Amino acid sequence: MKVILLKDVKSLGNEGEVVNVADGYGRNYLIPRELAVEATKTSMEMLEKRKEKEAQKSQQAQQEANELKAKIETANVKIVVKAGEGGRLFGSVTNKDINSELSSQGINIDRRKIELSDPIREIGEYNVPVRVYKETIASLSVKVVSE
């Protein structure tokens, strides 16, 4: 019996896959628990339409991510902090500080997407990676200066 999985099933497959299972397993376990539907002609057509919609949605999200990436890479983030001798900061600059500066420039992103490995503790210029979408990473230029 061929079924289309509606949810991920361990050791069987992922959502949206068409798999071949034993009749009893399909009728008595998968279908009643709404983990799968029988692979008929109409259900296969619905699956194809669903995949097309998801691909279109993904393509649109990728396009928006590329636009946001261009905005981020052209933005100049300048953070003014107190520093001691030798350029050491009193405290540090974190992704929260960078996010608040980006927000003041009109670029709103989640602060967790700013992939700052360690907080910035010295004056200087830094390139900070920002994960905009799955595979899209923008490089943000951050300049830390003293008061």
Give the domains, in start order, of the chain with CATH numbers.
Answer: 2-62 (3.40.5.10), 65-146 (3.10.430.100)
The full DSSP string for the chain is: -EEEESS-BTTTB-TT-EEE--HHHIIIIITTTTSEEE--HHHHHHHHHHHHHHHHHHHHHHHHHHHHHHHHHH-EEEEEE-B-GGGEEEEEE-HHHHHHHHHHTT----GGGB--SS-EEESEEEEEEEE-SSS-EEEEEEEEEE-
Give pLDDT, residue 99. 93
Give pLDDT, residue 86. 85
Position 134 confidence tier, pLDDT thresholds 50, 70, 90: confident
With a cut of 90, say whether residue 85 has pLDDT above it.
no
At 15-64, the pLDDT tens digits run 999 999 999 999 999 999 999 999 999 999 999 999 999 999 999 999 99
